[in-house]
Amino acid sequence: MPLSIALAIGNFLGWLSRITGRGSGVMVTGRTILALQPRAASLLAQRKEIVLISGTNGKTTTTALISRVLSEKSEVATNYTGANLFAGVVAGLATAAKAPRAVLEVDELVLPWAIKELSPSLIVLLNLGRDQLDRLSEVRIVAAKWKSALKDLPVNCTVIADSDDPFVTWAVRDCKKITWFSSGVSSHLDAATCPECGELLTWSSNTYSCICGFAKPIAEWILIDQELRHGGKSVNVKSAIPGRAALGNAARAIIAGAHFGISKESALKSISTISQVDGRFNEVKISGASLRLMLAKNPASWSETLETSSRKKVILSINANTQDGKDTSWLWDVDYLPLQGREIGVTGDRVLDISARLTSQGISHTRFDSVSAAAQSFSGTEVDLIASYTAFHALVKSAVKK
């Protein structure tokens, strides 16, 4: 079927899904287009400069920031809702089919397909860490898939890579054009051994090395606190989104902008207006309490979110659906001591799991049947609500309807 007809039908069904309240329409749009025209991704990518963003954490926010930076120069197609599997990528391309650029968040396992189908000119690789064990398995397996796919990059493609992450470093080390970025991370939960030879990695300060010769590369762009240094010059990075990780994501957006000739100052101005992405850090009122919504999906993102959380009252909502990962054993890989001394409410399908974990660390908490019930107990106060994927998006969807 001609691409134009597939796009028309897909966009119509997506619109129908939205106006009938069934959902955002993103997935039905992408699935319809792919079903009617299996080559839709490569056809939509023709004559476009494609930017791909992938990694365990930070994809959606980084994609939004880079999209905002590049949109100052031209129209940009993007999967702004975070739908990063095959259908979501196609739907993102279809949001602005005639745009000269596309900025696309891509799931770690979808990246090899995206490289082959879309012929990107820029890839931004964030990090690799433990995620859904029932879907992604071992981090090393994902890194190996990346390494294999990156061997077939277009000759003009540049990779912006996190030199702090041994798995990312190993996956991209054979690429022709690499821009290294470091935010000074001094350890990695999953990188005790060398991805090249299996021997123990030696970590010293914020660097790592192995007896086989594998070592952290020297970064061209370095983020120290809020100062982003490059080529003997520096700029103060500011983000309306809270947290250390947000500064790193903002820095990557600046680097991506520089790749396309956009000044650091212009990029900073573009990203300074973004205070929440796809519901993250949005403020909603539930049962009289003001809740700041925070998404946490895996050990690394939980650690970052707990560090960012600053309110005295916190609600944790944990589900274990397919999108959350059915195996919740990772809850025991997270240190919850930052919650010590605060008022904690826990809820969700796996409320007993998170309750057991908090109890093991001596953290006082109260179990509730629902977020609404937990919020009611904190009525009239400001609360940080940290939720797993499906719990988080259910709250975002509910807030939009209100």
For residue 142, what pLDDT is reported? 92
Q: Is the pLDDT of residue 23 over 80?
A: no
CATH 3.40.1190.10, applies to 41-271: yes
pLDDT in tens, 335-348: 999 999 999 999 99
Poorest-pLDDT segment among 53-57, 158-162, 330-334, 338-342: 330-334
Task: Please give the structure tokens belonging to residue 279.
Answer: 């519901």
Poorest-pLDDT segment among 116-130, 186-200, 224-238, 344-358: 186-200
**pLDDT-derived band of residue 186, with 50, 70 and 90 as boundaries?**
low
Whether 322 contacts 393, CB under 8 Å: no
**pLDDT-derived band of residue 133, with 50, 70 and 90 as boundaries?**
low
pLDDT in tens, 224-272: 989 999 988 999 998 889 888 899 999 999 999 999 999 999 999 999 8
Q: What is the DSSP letter of 177?
A: S
For residue 160, what pLDDT is reported? 98
The reply to whether 283-401 shares the fold of 41-271 is no
Q: What percent of the chain has pLDDT over 70?
A: 96
For residue 354, what pLDDT is reported? 94
Whether 223 contacts 254, CB under 8 Å: no
Inter-helix orientation angle 26-36/3-19, to 10°: 160
Picking from 160, 165, 125, the residue whose alpha carbon sits closest to that of residue 146 is 125
Domain 283-401 in this protein, CATH class: alpha beta
Q: Is the pLDDT of residue 135 over 60?
A: no
For residue 15, what pLDDT is reported? 86
Burial class (CB in 10 A: 0-12, 13-18, 19+), 381: middle
For residue 329, what pLDDT is reported? 85
The rounded distance, in Å, linking the Cα atoms of 272 and 9 is: 37
For residue 132, what pLDDT is reported? 56
Task: Please give the structure tokens belonging to residue 357.
Answer: 């974990």
Ordered by start, the domain boundaries in the chain are 1-38, 41-271, 283-401
The rounded distance, in Å, linking the Cα atoms of 26 and 61 is: 18
The rounded distance, in Å, linking the Cα atoms of 371 and 328 is: 19
Burial class (CB in 10 A: 0-12, 13-18, 19+), 308: buried
Mean pLDDT of the chain: 90
Average pLDDT over residues 327-354: 92
What three-state secondary structure class fits 244? helix
**pLDDT-derived band of residue 399, with 50, 70 and 90 as boundaries?**
low
Average pLDDT over residues 295-299: 88
